[in-house]
């Protein structure tokens, strides 16, 4: 009866809403007739508002959409997905590597060697170029400098908590480090020490025992020396380095010049625990950020980290507005406690200042955010004078406003694709999303801590029917966390079968049995929980109902709740206050999943909010981060995919196919050095990003003739 009632009354409701929308929304012609400036502003619609406008503090899509216009990173990717400079005009990637001289090791053809003799031996091998091993030959070619660092002595302190007495003490560790060989390479060589072992001996590095050079006056310190040795005196050390050269004369929206100090400050703000940045994991591998001069910044990593350069697409913050003195002044002005006041409480997050192509103008919560063109943007000002981000939670209203021209683009819903993708009034763009939709389970709470329960919940849902009837075929089923279009995705893993009977068997094995009323119980407690998602997304709302019904069919009492976007993110997701939720990830092309899946990322405001913890998965995530060889990354990614698919912290649902439509009057406007204007069609990049050249977009009073060709 319920389904029939929806089918009968939905068309009537639709007509009422359509009529209301038609009468109160002015047409595009009416807008421009009295206001030609409408041609110079781009209006986007969003189902949800931003949370904070600070790129180091947020990870939600609404905030990111605005931040990409207001802030600029050091680099980004071009149409072919190659890195290109933004605030950085150029950069260099190289490595400094170190290993301790091992006085107890015997080197083939040399025997035991002092530091100077050892350095000369490596130089001689490099000069003669007689190495037969191709890996060694390649590593020796990469070395540009070889030097000896003399022995050193120093002391460090470490906190120690006695598990027996629960007392805290400070342990002193004394280090008498032997001489060290420093190698500078013209690139990063992850196989350097493996290859050098062919020259220095198979066990040269392995037989170096750092604990032999450590001592402690404390008994507890003596017991911990082997563990401290790994930290303080590793036999070998890779230090990849990025050297960025910034563009001169680039300015923030308040006129201050963007300099290397701002880059260093942004890094330090991310790493400051008071700020609770979800980006910490991207920058934890950094050892130091050094300002070489106002336009040069040197970033040294403490270990191999293959995604390093991509992380510097992060928007750079103005340190003069957010440093400790500025925050202290703001806290005093607001009457806030200086000890607890952090960047998260700053009014900057509601009135941001960056160096991107648009500058902030106004934010009315749950209504709109407006940005003005930044005329001093280093690459030249955008063609649009204003960007307006309107919050329109109802997709039907968005659709009607698009038809009337009060918003300039529309994300076509699956049931509309066939009708709109070939509509001659619009230009359309389509592709497969770089991401996926899922149901996530809070594994801190019972019974979601049991993998049998999570698997059973997934087996009770018919994902094929979701794709067929909710997405109208505009999607594909997925099994794991990697982008399906990349080779990191393991295509050998089969989706969970739709098998309600099998789900009940798994639940029975986990101790859940049906009572006389048909509900599942364990130890006298009914299996019940609440499934939540954000309002304004009809697809997720439909999945909410389908999942609820599917689980009720097998005896699970499921409540559902729709929450406004900012409340959903800030109060429930960021604070891990949920049983289960429906959400989606937009992914990049890199296989680095540390932020979402590593066990260290389960705290408030971090992205592993389902609390997934698996030691082998952690190890693989680190290996992927430190691996520079594509085939090995693929191998590790496939195994990680297997583990996550087996554990089922998410019920992986689908990757959607998307279609977006724009008015044909929106085109790319280019002006050459002679002032000649040329208009071109908008074309997407390899990833389907049709807004890549947004700064060159403009809306014309009439579509040019070429828009009707082909």
Strands 286-293 and 435-441: unpaired
Residue 41's nearest CA partner among 427, 406, 394 is 406
pLDDT in tens, 609-625: 999 999 999 999 999 99
How far is CA 112 from its chain centroid? 48
The count of domains in the chain is 3
Residue 654 lies in a domain: yes
How big is the CA angle at 266 (ends 265 and 268), to the nearest 5 degrees? 60
- CA dihedral of residues 472, 439, 652, 413 (deg, nearest 10): 20
Please indicate, yes or no, whether residues 552 and 594 belong to a single structural domain of this protein.
Answer: yes
pLDDT in tens, 22-44: 334 444 455 555 567 889 999 99
How many whole angstroms separate alpha carbon 480 and alpha carbon 193?
A: 34
pLDDT of residue 687: 78
Residue 37 lies in a domain: yes
Please indicate, yes or no, whether residues 542 and 412 belong to a single structural domain of this protein.
Answer: no
Residue 506 in tokens:
């798994």
650-679 as b/e, with b when 16 or more CB fall inside 10 Å?
A: bbbbbbbbbbbbbbbbbbbbeeeeeeeeeb
pLDDT in tens, 315-330: 999 999 999 999 999 9
Please indicate, yes or no, whether residues 399 and 441 belong to a single structural domain of this protein.
Answer: no
What is the biggest distance separating any 2 CA atoms in the chain, rounded to whole angstroms? 91
HEC per residue, 484-523: CCCCCCCCCCCCCCCCHHHHHHHHHHCCCEECCCCCEEEC
Q: Give the range of the structural domain holding residue 690, as residue numbers without chain letter.
A: 2-70+327-431+660-708
pLDDT in tens, 276-306: 999 999 999 999 999 999 999 999 999 999 9
Please indicate, yes or no, whether residues 106 and 225 belong to a single structural domain of this protein.
Answer: yes
Ranking 158-167, 259-268, 481-490 by mean pLDDT, the lowest is: 158-167
Mean pLDDT score of the chain: 91
Please indicate, yes or no, whether residues 422 and 462 belong to a single structural domain of this protein.
Answer: no
Contacts of 68 (CB under 8 A, 6+ apart): 315, 356
Please indicate, yes or no, whether residues 424 and 516 belong to a single structural domain of this protein.
Answer: no
Q: What is the pTM of this model?
A: 0.81
Residue 243's nearest CA partner among 220, 229, 256, 260 is 260
Give bridge partners of residue 654 from the DSSP assignment: 437, 477
Contacts of 278 (CB under 8 A, 6+ apart): 57, 58, 59, 595, 605, 606, 607
Of residues 37 and 455, more confidently modeled:
455
CATH number at 579 reads: 3.10.105.10
- CA dihedral of residues 519, 521, 524, 530 (deg, nearest 10): -80
Of 215, 240, 265, the last residue of a domain is 240
């Amino acid at each position: 009866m319920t389904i029939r009632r929806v089918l009968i009354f939905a068309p009537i409701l639709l007509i009422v809403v359509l009529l209301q929308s038609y009468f109160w929304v002015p047409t595009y012609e009416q807008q421009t007739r009295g206001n030609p400036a409408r041609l110079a502003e781009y209006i986007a619609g969003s189902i949800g508002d931003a949370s904070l406008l600070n790129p180091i503090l947020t990870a939600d899509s609404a905030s990111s959409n605005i931040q990409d216009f207001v802030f600029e990173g050091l680099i980004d990717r071009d149409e072919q997905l190659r890195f290109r400079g933004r605030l950085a005009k150029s950069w260099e990637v190289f490595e400094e590597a170190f290993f301790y001289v091992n006085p107890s090791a015997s080197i083939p053809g040399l025997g035991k060697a002092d530091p100077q003799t050892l350095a000369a031996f490596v130089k001689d091998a490099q000069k003669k170029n007689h190495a037969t091993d191709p890996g060694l030959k390649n590593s020796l070619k990469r070395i540009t400098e070889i030097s000896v660092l003399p022995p050193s002595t120093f002391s460090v302190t470490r906190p120690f908590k006695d598990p027996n007495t629960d007392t805290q003490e400070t342990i002193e560790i004394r280090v008498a480090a032997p001489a060290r060989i420093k190698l500078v390479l013209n690139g990063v060589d992850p196989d350097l020490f493996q290859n050098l072992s062919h020259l220095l001996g198979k066990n040269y590095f392995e037989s170096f025992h750092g604990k032999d050079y450590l001592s402690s006056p404390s008994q507890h310190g003596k017991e911990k020396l082997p563990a401290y040795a790994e930290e303080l005196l590793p036999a070998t050390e890779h230090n990849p380095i990025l050297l960025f050269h910034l563009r001169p004369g680039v300015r923030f929206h308040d006129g201050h010049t963007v300099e290397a100090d701002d880059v260093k400050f942004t890094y330090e703000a991310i790493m400051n625990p008071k700020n609770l940045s979800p980006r910490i994991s991207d920058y934890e591998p950094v050892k130091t950020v050094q300002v070489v001069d106002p336009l040069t910044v040197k970033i040294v990593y403490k270990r191999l980290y293959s995604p390093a350069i991509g992380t510097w697409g992060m928007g750079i913050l103005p340190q003069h507005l957010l440093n400790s003195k500025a925050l202290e002044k703001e806290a005093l002005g607001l009457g806030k406690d200086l000890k607890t006041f952090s960047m998260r409480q700053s009014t900057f997050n509601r009135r941001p200042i960056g160096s991107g192509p648009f500058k902030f103008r106004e934010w009315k919560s749950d209504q709109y955010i407006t940005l003005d063109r930044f005329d001093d943007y280093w690459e030249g000002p955008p063609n649009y004078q204003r960007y307006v981000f309107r919050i329109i939670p109802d997709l039907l209203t968005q659709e009607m406003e698009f038809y009337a021209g009060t918003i300039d683009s529309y994300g076509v819903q699956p049931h509309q694709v066939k009708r709109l993708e070939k509509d001659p009034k619009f230009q359309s763009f389509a592709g497969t999303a770089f991401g996926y939709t899922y149901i996530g389970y809070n594994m801190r709470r019972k019974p979601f801590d049991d993998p049998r329960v999570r698997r059973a919940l997934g087996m009770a849902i018919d994902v094929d029917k979701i794709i067929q009837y909710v997405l109208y075929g505009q999607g594909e089923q997925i099994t794991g966390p990697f982008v399906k279009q990349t080779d990191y995705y393991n295509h050998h893993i089969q989706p969970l079968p739709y098998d309600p009977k099998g789900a009940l068997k798994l639940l029975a094995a986990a101790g859940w049995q049906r009572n006389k009323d048909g509900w599942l119980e364990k130890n006298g407690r009914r299996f019940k929980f609440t499934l939540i998602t954000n309002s304004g997304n009809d697809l997720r709302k439909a999945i909410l109902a389908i999942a609820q019904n599917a689980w009720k069919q097998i005896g699970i009492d499921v409540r559902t709740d729709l929450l406004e976007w900012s409340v959903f993110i800030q109060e429930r997701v960021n604070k891990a206050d949920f049983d289960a939720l429906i959400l989606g990830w937009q992914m990049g092309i890199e296989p680095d999943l540390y932020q979402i899946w590593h066990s260290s990322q389960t705290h408030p405001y971090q992205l592993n909010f389902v609390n997934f913890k698996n030691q082998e998965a952690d190890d693989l995530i680190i290996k992927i981060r430190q691996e520079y060889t594509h085939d090995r990354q693929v191998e590790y990614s496939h195994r990680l995919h297997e583990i996550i698919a087996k554990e089922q912290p998410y019920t992986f649902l689908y990757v959607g196919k998307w279609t977006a439509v724009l008015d044909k009057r929106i085109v790319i406007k280019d002006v050459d050095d002679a002032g000649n204007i040329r208009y071109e069609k908008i074309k997407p990049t390899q990833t389907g990003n049709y807004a890549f050249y947004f700064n060159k977009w403009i809306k014309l009073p009439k579509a040019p003739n070429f828009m009707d060709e082909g």
